[in-house]
């Protein structure tokens, strides 16, 4: 009887893992050895958010225990590298075959491709099933020079998987309800608190280990994320019952009064396999069918998964590895020191950065229109921005951040992912949030001592890149706004932006 080992990566903690299913067709459960590895080198790779490390390692250890309860023998290894851990396992157990599922990242998959030669054992690399694009690709042979629009991609997947469809037509008569989902949070609104999970014995031990590590971001204190599939499903049910109904109208709203507003905060669990995309999509679809949530909230949530998440993964594999060097705006600056502390007198930036450092989470508009907007306007190098996002967030992984930070957030790919750069002045931040009222700067002032830096940085960016922006139909209107600036104002905008960029740390 074959001796089979199954290596499960830490971000592949699926309830029904395909490598386990494949192994069960060849041998008995008793003959299968499951390998999970904590790599010290991987943990040291960058200054990760400590809460992310606690989430990942605690979830791995809980998962290992659940597999043991299901009858599997689990070899849980602490090693310097993944390769060293696998070599140790192969030398000790001498399997006839190693089964593993393809990594979601370019680097991870490259390492897996070399395993058979390195380990001297047959390796079956199974397709990754954590993404729906693996089951249907509307553009199986994409043109590397062509721009693909997420809306078209999303509609194709809606049709293929028959999600929110009535025959060939979208439910509600339209494909998306963006225009209904741009409301500012009312002053009287009280979003529900986030669900929390007190750490158990396993999690407390991990917290103690991570707290002792040097050169990482944030603190383990207050960790309350779900670390098992059961808890992750409970978090999803909480969202369905308490947040989904109001998710749509306020999904773009920003506030200092609530950590996550009506957002689900399920991305950390999706990205490590505790939840799977289609189970969320179908249950949210059912909520609409049963009249428990309006179409704009339901479609908005489904679009984040079936549209945005799948599109980012597809774009990642289309554009890697070249994506990492994309920099069409020729940005060269370093990430400011205050991005690691939150010590800045720009109220919106301070609040969003501190929240990220404390919790490992910001919702998508805070990441896009506060952080990425700032990084783009100040000319921060795309690679550095990508590293910052990877370091700070609990849901950040190598496949998701480059297309989001380099592509969508910074438009450094020249529009291959998003059709325009997401740049905005303080007017947008004030319209969608409540930070400006607490800020020492005036969101209405373009120049002068009290002018919000977003304003003179915004207009300076347009002046610097006027020709390039004018050629894009989606940004040409922004360029037209220059006609309202006199030559004197243009000169002062450039001067104040230059002073800010030369001495950015004075805003700490």
Mean pLDDT of the residues in the chain: 95
Q: Are 95 and 5 in contact (CB under 8 A)?
A: yes
pLDDT digits (tens, 9 = 90+) for 422-461: 999 999 999 999 999 999 999 999 999 999 999 999 999 9
For helices 229-242 and 277-289, give the axis angle rounded to 10 degrees.
Answer: 30
Q: Are 249 and 181 in contact (CB under 8 A)?
A: yes
pLDDT digits (tens, 9 = 90+) for 144-163: 888 999 999 999 999 999 99
DSSP H or E run through 100? strand 97-101
pLDDT digits (tens, 9 = 90+) for 222-272: 999 999 999 999 999 999 999 999 999 999 999 999 999 999 999 999 999
CATH topology of domain 4-133: Rossmann fold (3.40.50)
For residue 476, the tally of other CB atoms under 10 A from its CB is 12
**Domain residue extents for the chain:** 4-133, 145-321, 337-507
What's the Cα-to-Cα distance from 296 to each of 4, 70, 83, 285, 369, rounded to whole Å?
48, 41, 47, 11, 21
DSSP string, 138-194: S-SS--TTS---HHHHHHHHHHHHT-SEETTEEGGGSS--GGGS-PPPPTT--PPPP
For residue 417, the number of C-alpha atoms closer than 13 Å in the C-beta half-sphere is: 32
For residue 428, the tally of other CB atoms under 10 A from its CB is 20
Q: Are 295 and 177 in contact (CB under 8 A)?
A: yes
Residue by residue, pLDDT tens for the chain (508 residues) are 689 999 999 999 999 999 999 999 988 888 899 999 999 999 999 999 999 999 999 999 999 999 999 999 999 999 999 999 999 999 999 999 999 999 999 999 999 999 999 999 999 999 999 999 999 999 998 988 889 999 999 999 999 999 999 999 999 999 999 999 999 999 999 999 999 999 999 999 999 999 999 999 999 999 999 999 999 999 999 999 999 999 999 999 999 999 999 999 999 999 999 999 999 999 999 999 999 999 999 999 999 999 999 999 999 999 999 999 999 999 999 999 999 999 999 999 999 999 999 999 999 999 999 999 999 999 999 999 999 999 999 999 999 999 999 999 999 999 999 989 999 999 999 999 999 999 999 999 999 999 999 999 999 999 999 999 988 888 888 888 888 889 999 999 999 999 999 877 555 4
The residues that bridge with 101 in the sheet, in sequence order, are 126
Burial 36-52 (b: 16+ CB within 10 A, else e): bbbbeebbeeebbbbbb
CA dist., res. 340 & res. 279, Å (int): 36
CATH topology of domain 337-507: DNA Cyclobutane Dipyrimidine Photolyase, subunit A; domain 3 (1.10.579)
Secondary structure in 3-state letters for 374-390: HHHHCCECHHHHHHHHH
The one-character DSSP state at 217 is: B
3-state helix, strand, coil in the chain (%, to 5): 50, 10, 40
CATH topology of domain 145-321: 1.25.40
Long-range interactions of 487-496: CB distance < 8 A, separation 24+: 489/446, 489/447, 490/459, 490/463, 492/447, 492/456, 493/446, 493/447, 493/456, 493/459, 493/460, 493/463, 494/460, 494/463, 496/447, 496/451, 496/456, 496/460
Give Rg (Cα) of the chain.
Answer: 24
């Amino acid at each position: 009887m074959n001796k089979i080992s199954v290596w499960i990566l830490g971000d592949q903690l699926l309830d029904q893992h395909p490598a386990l299913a494949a192994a069960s067709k060849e041998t008995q459960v008793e003959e299968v050895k499951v390998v999970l590895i904590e790599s010290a080198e991987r943990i040291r790779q960058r200054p990760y958010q400590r809460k992310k490390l606690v989430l990942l390692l605690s979830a791995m250890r809980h998962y290992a225990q659940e597999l043991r309860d299901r009858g599997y023998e689990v070899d849980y290894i602490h090693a310097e590298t993944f390769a060293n851990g696998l070599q140790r396992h192969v030398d000790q157990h001498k399997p006839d075959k190693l089964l593993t599922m393809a990594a979601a990242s370019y680097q991870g998959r490259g390492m897996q491709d070399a395993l058979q030669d390195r380990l001297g054992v047959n390796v079956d690399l199974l397709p990754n099933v954590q993404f729906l694009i693996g089951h249907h690709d509307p553009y199986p042979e994409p043109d590397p020079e062509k721009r693909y629009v997420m809306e078209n991609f999303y509609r194709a997947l809606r049709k293929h998987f028959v999600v929110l469809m009535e025959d060939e037509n979208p439910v509600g008569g339209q494909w998306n309800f963006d225009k209904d989902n741009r409301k500012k949070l009312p002053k009287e609104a009280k979003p529900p608190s986030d669900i929390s999970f007190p750490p158990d014995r396993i999690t407390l031990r991990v917290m103690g280990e991570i707290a002792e590590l040097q050169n990482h971001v944030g603190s383990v204190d207050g960790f309350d994320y779900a670390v098992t599939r059961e808890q992750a499903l409970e978090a999803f049910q909480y969202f369905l019952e308490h947040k989904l109904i109001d998710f749509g109208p306020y999904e773009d709203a920003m506030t200092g009064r609530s950590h996550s507003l009506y957002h689900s905060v399920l991305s950390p669990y999706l990205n490590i396999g505790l939840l799977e995309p289609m189970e969320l999509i179908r249950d949210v679809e059912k909520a609409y069918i049963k009249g428990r949530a309006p179409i704009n909230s339901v479609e908005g949530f489904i679009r984040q998964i079936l549209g945005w998440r799948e599109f980012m993964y597809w774009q990642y594999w289309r554009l890697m590895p070249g994506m990492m060097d994309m920099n069409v705006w020729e940005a060269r600056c370093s990430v400011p020191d205050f991005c690691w502390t939150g010590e800045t007198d720009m109220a919106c930036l301070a609040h969003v950065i501190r929240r990220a450092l404390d919790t490992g989470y910001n919702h998508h508009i805070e990441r896009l229109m506060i952080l990425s907007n700032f990084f783009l306007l100040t000319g921060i190098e795309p690679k550095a921005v990508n590293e910052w996002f990877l370091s700070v967030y609990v849901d950040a992984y190598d496949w998701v951040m480059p297309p989001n930070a380099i592509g969508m957030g910074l438009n450094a790919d020249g529009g291959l992912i998003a059709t325009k750069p997401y740049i905005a002045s303080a007017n947008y931040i004030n319209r969608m949030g409540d930070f400006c009222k607490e800020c020492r700067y005036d969101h209405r002032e373009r120049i002068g001592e009290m002018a919000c830096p977003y304003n003179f940085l915004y207009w300076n960016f347009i002046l610097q890149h006027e020709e390039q922006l004018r050629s894009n139909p989606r940004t040409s209107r922004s360029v037209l706004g220059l006609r309202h600036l006199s030559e004197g104002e243009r000169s002062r905008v450039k001067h104040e932006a230059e002073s800010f960029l030369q001495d950015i740390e004075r805003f700490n």
